Amino acid sequence: MTDPYIDIEKLDADQRLQLIERLWDSLEDSALALPLTAAQKRELDSRLDRIDAGDDAGIPWEEIISKIKSKPG
């Protein structure tokens, strides 16, 4: 594979975000090939254990959206 050259400094913010999005989306097919670290596995197991125990039901989507919309800025 050849490394394509992109002069990132010449891209505006929107173009940079589009590039990031394309790069992120390109990882979708290989997501299973990216191994989790031991810390990530422990965290996922811990979250699943809390959910199974009924200790962590999560936050309703509506509440999250409301918090985001109420933040200044």
pTM, whole model, 2 decimals?
Answer: 0.42
CB atoms inside a 10 Å sphere around CB 56: 13
pLDDT value for 73: 66
pLDDT value for 20: 93
> Contact, 31 vs 44, CB < 8 A?
no
Q: CA end-to-end span of the chain, whole Å? A: 43
pLDDT value for 1: 60
pLDDT value for 55: 80
What is the residue-level pLDDT of the chain in tens, covering all 73 positions?
677 788 999 999 999 999 999 988 888 777 667 788 999 999 999 989 988 888 877 788 999 999 999 988 6
Instruction: Provide the CB-side half-sphere exposure for 5 (13 A, CA).
Output: 1
> Contact, 19 vs 11, CB < 8 A?
yes
> Contact, 22 vs 15, CB < 8 A?
no
